[in-house]
Structure 1
């Protein structure tokens, strides 16, 4: 079945432009013109992804993102009207999966939407006995159910956060550069900044720290990231 994308922007021209481009890519769309309408559309249609403008009336995109993240893990692609790194980093730290700065190419938005949807639908190769979970100390990743547990309790993650953590956990001894992580998440040549990866890592650390996992990811100065010791006996 076609995936449904909610386009949330107060500019009808942008909504029309993106709806046309996404339809050409085989995706269904629905629209919202402000923040309150966005929340109502998510409740009514359960879209597979939200393209969310930051600057909207009747609740801005950042607040919409906060509320969506409080109730679920629907993928979010932010649209920012300014090339403002503070807005972009804050959006990622609130749980957005990616962002595009206006003015943008509709093809770029479609490419980023498709990349997020591929991560949502991605599954590792199935072994003879089925895909195996990844366990590292107190960390357990259910790669088929897209669930992360620490010491037996679930830690809710966004699609991008889970994909990043799975990348590190599949090779726990390897130090991944930021470029290598970007390639694993999006494919070679995908335009995204190192600061975005840093923001996702901060989110992961904060979420697991609240669950008691304070050494989840190690930073190797000048190189990148690797999975931490995750010491302890699994429950």
Structure 2
């Protein structure tokens, strides 16, 4: 059985004590979305315009990658009211995910030219930029000027070329390591039914990367 079946991807399986039934969960979704929301709220606080509404509501949310992590992120962003647009090297896969999420898919080769508005959010859920090909990036530095925030699910290296270039053009950045930490916090709660030692776990994980 899968909790939140619409995502269609599982990263945690728990055996239910009452009947021994296996239950599948996905902690990627909340891990990514809350990391992005918190970073945007921090940016809004700095600009003096904090709000209780999800800061990605109504935002154009550009997702690169349509695999398991991409599915989780797409559903999470959509659930918060974002306008999701999906790019994937295999266009058919992007279209299939877009149909499942009720959003739009566009051909990968249009990613660098996609700029209908400023202040968009970019989430890279592909493997582009991961070691040993850390010199690669899914999008040009010039195109990053249209984005308010850039998230990269890649966490080896922690500071990917994508995040470096996004920082250089003034975007807020969120590392895949933060998603990794939040995944673990969610899994800890599922496994133990208790709260994780957040500060300790975050420090240990960041020391490793």
Task: Report the TM-score range of the alignment, normalised by the length of the smaller protein.
Answer: 0.3 to 0.5
Q: TM-score, normalised by structure 2?
A: 0.37
Q: Which has the higher contact order (CA 8 A, sep 6+)?
A: 2
